[in-house]
Amino acid sequence: MAIDLRIAGGDVVTPAGRRPADVLVDGEKIVGLVSPGVEISDVGRTIDATGKLVIPGMVDPHVHTREPGFTHKEDITTSTQAAAAGGVTTIFGMPNLKPPTSSAELLEQVFDMYREKSVVDWNHNPAATDPTQIVPMAEMGIRAFKIFMVVDTGRTYPHPAGTGMHNHGDLLRTMDLIAPTGLPFMIHPHDQALMDYIEGEIQASGDNTPQGYAQAYCAREGVIWDTACDVLIRLAEASGCHVHLMHMQTRRSIDAVRRAKARGIKVTCEINHWSLFLGSWEDVERLGPYALSYYNPPDAKEAVWEGLLDGTIDMMSSDHAPHTREEKEVGWTQMWSAHTGTPGIQYQLPLLLDLVNQGKLPLDRAIEVVCSRPAEVFGLKQTKGVIAPGADADLVVADLDGAWTITNDSVLSRCGWTPYDGRECSVSIERTLLRGQEIYADGKVTGAPGQGRMARAEQTVAATA
In the annotation, is 319 catalytic? Answer: yes
- Pseudo-torsion of CA 111, 160, 250, 177, nearest 10°? -60
Q: What confidence score (pLDDT) does residue 462 get? A: 35
d(CA 411, CA 406) in angstroms, rounded, equals 9
pLDDT, average across residues 91-100: 98
Architecture of domain 58-346: Alpha-Beta Barrel (3.20)
Question: Alpha-carbon torsion 106, 111, 117, 123, what sign?
Answer: positive
Of the residues 319, 354, 392, 394, only one is catalytic, namely 319
pLDDT, average across residues 310-323: 98
Does the pLDDT of residue 459 top 60, yes or no? no
pTM of the model: 0.96
Q: Which of 309, 288, 307 is nearest to 248 (CA)?
A: 307
Integer-rounded Cα Rg, in Å, for the chain is: 21
Task: Write down the mean pLDDT value for the chain.
Answer: 96
Question: Alpha-carbon torsion 452, 453, 457, 459, what sign?
Answer: negative
pLDDT, average across residues 458-464: 42
Q: For the residues of 310-321, what is the DSSP string, one character each?
A: HTSS-EEE--B-
Does the pLDDT of residue 463 top 60, yes or no? no
Q: Per residue in 2-31, pLDDT tens?
A: 899 999 999 999 999 999 999 999 999 999
**Which H/E stretch holds residue 65?**
none
Q: What confidence score (pLDDT) does residue 461 get? A: 35
Q: What angle do CA 145, 64, 370 make, to 5 degrees?
A: 75
Does the pLDDT of residue 153 top 80, yes or no? no
Q: Per residue in 52-87, pLDDT tens?
A: 999 999 999 999 999 999 999 999 999 999 999 999
